Amino acid sequence: MPKAIRSDSENNRTTGVAIPGIYSGRPGTVAEHVHDGDTLNVMPKGNIGVRLLGIDTPEVSFTFPGPKFRFVDLDKPEWNDFLTTPFDSKWGEYRGKVPDPLRTWIQAKVVGQPGSIHSDHADKAKEALQAMITKDMEIMGQTAAEFGYFMGFGFEVMDGYGRFLCTINRDQPSRTEPTPRPPTYNMRMLERGLAFPYFIWPNMNPWERPDSIAKAVIPPGKAKELASTDRELQMARNAVQKARANHLGVFDAMNPLLLEPFELRFLSRRSLPDRYLIDLTSDSDKMIHPHNYFHIPNPEDRLWISSIYVPFFEKHGWKVPVDPV
């Protein structure tokens, strides 16, 4: 089935198609689905993707660098060739100069067969999420046609690819029936070490958020305090720390994931990271330049800030570096 929401990155637009909304179990008439002069009920005509907030799992497939746009599964041998020499000019030029420290950081990680290892971890993450959902259907006593999801949204409901941005879980209205409600799939993936944390402001906590995005700006020097008081951040960071301590999933001591998923993506796209960062373990009032993200070694300690929001933080007194150091 085609996607109901379509992204056109070349023209910087997102569009969608829909059908009249449901009314009493059937498509509504025009009179039924038009509420007033500026409101009507519709149903998406097609599927809508969901991007799980706060996590980043290994890529099953991705665009391979080169003049021809093509998706290639990560189990293909060309990924090992590329990822062991990601800065070779034969793969195309980067949009911007790659700083030497960033080059050194990446090159030290891409040993052995980074593509094959990435593929292995991607398969495990995919299979685990499938198993979680299948098990939840069994617990709820529902078929695929009956099963529902409950979604919690941050400030941004949809990303540039037309996917919902949310936490997601089985739709279980009761906290205790038929069994105690489990953590979200987002959290379950972190607990099992099947995903890296990927906290992107202002979408960290769908359940406790201010009434405006301006009020959500973290005061300078208060990131460490936020990390210790925000319940969702606390839970997610603790889950990652426990998974690392127990060598689970991507932190497997014998077979760790070599590149974080976002690293593979920017290498393949031949573009450098463009989100600024705040260190969740620091009382500093200084942001970290996108090219220096590795100055925060543990991913659960990184809070990413899209460049479009950086002026909000500058206005509140944060110091923003112009160049990587």
Looking at the chain, which runs of residues are DSSP E strands?
5-8, 13-16, 18-20, 22-23, 26-27, 34-36, 39-40, 42-44, 50-52, 54-56, 61-63, 71-73, 149-158, 164-170, 196-201, 276-279, 302-305
All domains of the chain, ordered by start, with CATH?
A: 1-48 (no CATH), 49-315 (2.40.50.90)
Mean of pLDDT values over 134-147: 95
Backbone angles phi, psi at 311, to 5 degrees: -55, -35
The first and second tokens of residue 155, run together, are: 């400030």
How many C-beta atoms surround the C-beta of residue 302 within 10 A? 23
Instruction: Give the residues across from 34 on adjacent strands.
Output: 40
Mean of pLDDT values over 22-41: 85
pLDDT at 251: 98
**Is the separation of the CB atoms in 164 and 157 below 8 Å?**
yes
What is the Cα–Cα distance from 162 to 21, expressed in whole angstroms?
20
Express as a percent the part of the chain with pLDDT over 70. 99
pLDDT at 9: 67
Mean of pLDDT values over 1-6: 81
Is the pTM here over 0.75, yes or no? yes
- Burial of residue 99 (number of CB atoms within 10 Å: 0-12, 13-18, 19+): middle
**Is the separation of the CB atoms in 220 and 283 below 8 Å?**
no
pLDDT band at 92, cuts 50/70/90? very high
Compute CA distances 173 → 68, 176, 187, whole Å.
48, 9, 19
**Cα dihedral 136→137→138→144 (10° resolution):** -160
pLDDT > 80? residue 2: no
pLDDT > 70? residue 140: yes
Q: Which residue has the tokens 């195309």?
A: 92
pLDDT at 184: 96
Looking at 64-195, which runs of residues are DSSP E strands?
71-73, 149-158, 164-170
pLDDT > 70? residue 54: yes
pLDDT at 119: 98
pLDDT > 90? residue 37: no
Core vs surface per residue 143-177: b (16+ CB within 10 A) or e: eeeebeeebeebebebbeebbbbbbbbbebeeeee
> How high is the mean pLDDT of the chain?
93
SS3 200: strand
